[in-house]
Amino acid sequence: MATAAALVGDSAPSRGRWGRARREANSEGYPGRQSRWGSEAKVPSAALPRAEQDEDFRPLALEGAPRPGVGCSIRLRRGGLMPQLGLGSGGLEGREGREAIATALRAGYRLIDTALYYRTEKEIAAGIRLAGLSRSDVFISTKVLQKAHASNAQVRESLAESLKNLGTNYVDLYLIHNPRAGRIKEVWALLLQLRDEGLARAVGVSNFGIAQLEGMREAGLELPEVNQIEVTAYHERHGIATMTMAPLARGRMFGYSDLSKMAEEMGRSEAELAIRWSLQRGFVPIPKSINPQRILLNMADGFDLNPRQMARISQLDSGFMSCTMASPCHELAWDLVSDGIPHPDTWGGNRKGKGKGKQTGSWTDDYQTWW
Ligand SMILES: NC(=O)c1ccc[n+]([C@@H]2O[C@H](COP(=O)([O-])OP(=O)(O)OC[C@H]3O[C@@H](n4cnc5c(N)ncnc54)[C@H](OP(=O)(O)O)[C@@H]3O)[C@@H](O)[C@H]2O)c1
């Protein structure tokens, strides 16, 4: 979370923005039995405004429940809906993982984030069944295997494998996992094609920095609808929804900042404050937990942060980066990733985060180290 605050730039929430947000209840109800995600009529890509015109895009707005969080969704640039709070599923393996996913779904989470690399896609399919829901009730985001960027055929195979694992014929959101995987122009064009073929309702990227997004824009490419990253203000200007990965900074900042004092004052946990901050900023946080009580806690329900508290959290920026292998790749030069595949020596990963914070040993420490 501290990292998110680090990159946001401004401090207080824009009240005007939320004031403009449409708040009517969705006519399908929530949670619905019919598919409500991305069910809007799609704009054919040929009719989309070119990147140069994207300043005209309407700002992203929240819809649904009267306050940010579970029940709220973000209307994406092309018209699809994405639930605002998600469950990160990296590490949610086996029976415990399936049950954690079902717990979250029963509690009202409707977005689950995964990646072919996480090996949790089958657990997601099983968790949905366990919760008594159908595939269409849940918004699933998954990511291309990075090494599959070597060829278009492998990217297609990566998606085919994800679809098989998930027991579905489409994903709601398909992301490029990391710019370091390279050949971005080719792979992005293919993702747009896969979307037009109906295999993905929306496509986006992850770990992309401003220079890389600008590289796409200047190359005349359609911009992603979502960037999953440790947050940047650039997104808002271009109608890109911000999915905040590792919104708890992997727990490594707990007890090391003013957030712990605030949590004590408010009688809440640091995790709840971090997630509510993210929700009220209009981001899409995807905290991961395998622990049923924490999954419920992470809905950050029953309280709101006032503007002063929002500003106080935004000021916590210490530059700490919890995803030490993934996040630094947002700084890779566009030229390095646009057409070729950058050498791993250029990734700049394995940095220690700046500032205080625990460097714990867990699966998350090395799950991005593969190639
Ligand atoms: N695109 C990428 O490159 C990328 C990189 C990193 C993450 N992600 C996505 O973001 C998701 C979340 O990131 P993350 O798992 O790295 O970090 P995170 O969500 O910030 O933190 C997860 C850690 O915090 C603990 N935790 C969860 N809720 C807690 C609470 N209420 N109180 C105390 N500790 C709590 C979890 O332990 P327990 O499980 O034991 O509760 C786990 O150790 C991932 O699952 C993945 O979907 C994507």
Range among 27-41, 222-236, 334-348 rated most confident:
334-348
Specify the higher pLDDT residue, 3 or 63. 63
Top mutation candidate among 114, 248, 366 for ligand 1, by most atoms within 8 Å of CB: 248
Ligand 1 centroid to Cα of residue 91, in Å, is 9
Q: At what angle do helices 94-107 and 121-130 cross, to 10 degrees?
A: 50
Residue 58, class by beta-carbon neighbours within 10 Å (0-12 exposed, 13-18 middle, 19+ buried)? exposed
pLDDT confidence tier of residue 58, bands split at 50, 70 and 90: low
- Evaluated on CA atoms 51, 327, 262, 23, the torsion sign reads positive
**Residue with the nearest Cα to atom 10 of ligand 1?**
245
Work out which ligand 1 atom sits closest to the CA atom of 272.
Answer: 31
Is the pLDDT reported for residue 162 higher than 90? Answer: yes
pLDDT in tens, 172-205: 999 999 999 999 999 999 999 999 999 999 999 9
pLDDT in tens, 236-256: 778 888 999 889 988 888 888
Specify the higher pLDDT residue, 40 or 241. 241
Ligand 1 centroid to Cα of residue 196, in Å, is 32
Q: According to the model, what pLDDT value does residue 296 have?
A: 96
Q: According to the model, what pLDDT value does residue 181 have?
A: 95
Is 118 catalytic? The answer is yes
Ligand 1 centroid to Cα of residue 117, in Å, is 16
The helix (H) or strand (E) run that includes residue 277 is helix 270-280
List 117, 118, 174, 256, catalytic entry: 118
pLDDT in tens, 70-128: 999 999 999 999 999 999 999 999 999 999 999 999 999 999 999 999 999 999 999 99
**Residue with the nearest Cα to atom 34 of ligand 1?**
251
Cα separation, 206 vs 211, in Å, equals 13
Ligand 1 centroid to Cα of residue 248, in Å, is 6
Average pLDDT over residues 28-33: 29
Cα separation, 265 vs 262, in Å, equals 5
Top mutation candidate among 229, 245, 358, 363 for ligand 1, by most atoms within 8 Å of CB: 245
Q: Are strands 62-64 and 72-75 parallel, antiparallel or unpaired?
A: antiparallel
Is the pLDDT reported for residue 364 higher than 90? Answer: no
Ligand 1 centroid to Cα of residue 238, in Å, is 27
At the top level of CATH, the class of 2-11+74-360 is alpha beta
Domains of the chain, residue spans: 2-11+74-360
In the chain the beta strands, taken as DSSP E runs, fall at 62-64, 72-75, 81-83, 86-88, 111-113, 139-143, 171-176, 200-206, 226-229, 241-244, 284-285
- Evaluated on CA atoms 65, 75, 20, 12, the torsion sign reads positive
CA nearest neighbour of 106 among 127, 81, 131, 130: 131
Q: According to the model, what pLDDT value does residue 211 have?
A: 87
Is the pLDDT reported for residue 368 higher than 50? Answer: no
Average pLDDT over residues 135-157: 97
> Could you tell me if the CB of 313 is within 6 A of ligand 1?
no
